[in-house]
Amino acid sequence: MNLRMMMRIFAYILLVEAALMLPPALISLFLHEHASMLAFFMSMGIILAIAGVMFLISRKADGRRFYAREGLVTTGISWILLGALGCLPFYLSGAIPSYVDALFEMVSGFTTTGSSILKNVEILPKGVLWWRSFSHWVGGMGVLVFLMAIVSLSGKNQGFGLHIMRSESPGPAVGKMVPRIKDTSKILYWIYTGLTVINIILLKLGGLSFFDSCCLAFGTAGTGGFGLLNDSFASYSPYIQYVTTLFMLLFSVNFSVYYLILLKKFKAAFGDEEFKLFWAMVFVATTLIVINVRPLYSTLEETIRHSAFTVGTLMSTTGYATTDFDLWPSFSKAIVVLLMFCGACAGSTGGGFKQIRLLLLWRSLRRNIHTSLHPSEVRAICVNKRPIDEHILHNTHAYLVAYVIIVIISVLVISLDGFSFETNFTAVMATLNNIGPGLAQVGPTCNFSGYSDFSKLVLTADMLAGRLEIYPMLILLSRSTWKRAR
């Protein structure tokens, strides 16, 4: 394995992370939040020192031997490093006194989960709040993708950027939009930034302060879910809630759709089957919930608003809440859990199992039924009128298996803490799908602080596995990854 080159990439990642800590540090400086300012600058110092050592080690890095395996391992370790060092400001400033809690909170931020162990968010210093929300924005599109857009890591080595991008970007078949990986990353980030800015402006027009608009927009854009108030979104105006519903859904659409729209290829953009499935599911789920929960709310508008917001927050895997859906009737709660699983579109900032995988599994199942009736039938599975390669289907099946196994093991392990099955199961679903709140003891009005440190670490690993789509994390545990060929 090309450890030197990986080290070089880690060093770059840490440089980026240190640079990203500068704005919250300055915010703390201007608002005279001495403890957090000091914590930010100390963390930056530590991170830069580690990055420096890594640069020294990786002086003779050779980028030519960099393949899928290196890409996966690099992504896995990069994200662990990001979390482990990114949480230093929380820990050092005393905002979160326990390191495991700080790690949980940070990983929850970078993986755009939004699960929190904090009981009272409102007392946090502004700098720390900014860092918490901004981590969603960074994690949403991916740090490595960002790195790909700003530096030319690849000189002679050519395809290796793709191995990294594939392992960081969600979806079963990650492709490029333009020939160069650097240009592809740039386009992604421009679309991302553009949409975020529009969101900030719309929130600002709704009467929020600039700081609040930014933080909330970061959380929406990355489909994260860290709020600024203890009741998340419940006390904001209906306008803010509608805007956020819309943007949560917009950020869960495959970004290549926006690129096609920019290229004025509207037919290809709106004809995308995953895109259509996503909106159909949003519509059906909202309608069913509206009918089911109508008696709980006074006006129809309020019912629709809360239902749509909840569907948006769960399908985009954001995790904001305007209402406590834990109090809904069990039919709606069942839909909530189902939506948690389904998730957003591939190539978006959202998490979950991904719509395209559902589509592939559904069609693959239909084909199996067909072939059991006509055993010698040959049939290709198509999406968007293009045949899907069999190995992508195999990977999708394997992904489902890996997903289920992780859910089962995680639920088993955290059940040791003694919470109800509903709590444990939805806690795992909420973290593995990068949503945030679950039901019962981890519902929208509660948080994850009740779990033991061990369970928190398990859930932290689930969040990483969910964000990176399992393989980069599983591969770190595999012995053959580290074995030297003799």
The residue ranges that bind another protein (CB under 8 A) are 67-68, 154, 156, 158-159, 161-163, 175-183, 389
Q: Is 90 exposed, middle or buried (0-12, 13-18, 19+ CB in 10 A)?
A: buried
- By beta-carbon proximity to another protein, the closer residue of 391 and 483 is 391
- By beta-carbon proximity to another protein, the closer residue of 68 and 84 is 68
- By beta-carbon proximity to another protein, the closer residue of 183 and 417 is 183
**Residue 387: C-alpha distances to residues 255, 260, 363, 379, 384 (Å):** 21, 20, 12, 10, 8
Cα–Cα distance between 367 and 380 in angstroms, integer? 9
- By beta-carbon proximity to another protein, the closer residue of 383 and 440 is 383
Minimum CB distance to another protein, residue 10 (Å): 22
Minimum CB distance to another protein, residue 84 (Å): 30
Helix (H) or strand (E) holding 214: helix 210-221
Residue 223, C-beta contacts closer than 8 angstroms, at least 6 positions apart: 112, 136, 140, 248, 251, 252, 316, 317, 318, 344, 348, 349, 350, 351, 434
SS3 383: strand
Cα–Cα distance between 39 and 28 in angstroms, integer? 10
- By beta-carbon proximity to another protein, the closer residue of 45 and 175 is 175
- By beta-carbon proximity to another protein, the closer residue of 157 and 287 is 157
CB 182 within 8 A of CB 150: no
- By beta-carbon proximity to another protein, the closer residue of 177 and 393 is 177
Number of residues that this document lists for the chain: 486
CB atoms within 10 A of CB 89: 30
Minimum CB distance to another protein, residue 158 (Å): 4
DSSP state of 349: S
- By beta-carbon proximity to another protein, the closer residue of 87 and 162 is 162
- By beta-carbon proximity to another protein, the closer residue of 166 and 305 is 166
Cα–Cα distance between 145 and 138 in angstroms, integer? 10
**Residue 42: C-alpha distances to residues 21, 29, 45, 46, 113 (Å):** 11, 13, 5, 6, 26
DSSP state of 485: P
Minimum CB distance to another protein, residue 389 (Å): 6
Minimum CB distance to another protein, residue 182 (Å): 8
- By beta-carbon proximity to another protein, the closer residue of 51 and 153 is 153
Cα–Cα distance between 329 and 316 in angstroms, integer? 22
**Residue 141: C-alpha distances to residues 103, 150, 268, 274 (Å):** 20, 14, 23, 19
**Residue 333: C-alpha distances to residues 231, 249, 478 (Å):** 19, 20, 37
List the one residue out of 105, 75, 94 whose CA is nearest residue 35. 94
Region of residue 341 (left: phi > 0; alpha: psi -120 to 50; beta: else): alpha
What φ, ψ does residue 386 adopt, rounded to 5°?
-115, 130
- By beta-carbon proximity to another protein, the closer residue of 71 and 127 is 71
Cα–Cα distance between 84 and 99 in angstroms, integer? 9
Cross-strand pairs, 387? 382
Cα–Cα distance between 311 and 304 in angstroms, integer? 10
Minimum CB distance to another protein, residue 179 (Å): 4
- By beta-carbon proximity to another protein, the closer residue of 177 and 440 is 177
Minimum CB distance to another protein, residue 331 (Å): 44
Minimum CB distance to another protein, residue 273 (Å): 17
Q: Which two tokens stand for residue 100?
A: 């495991």
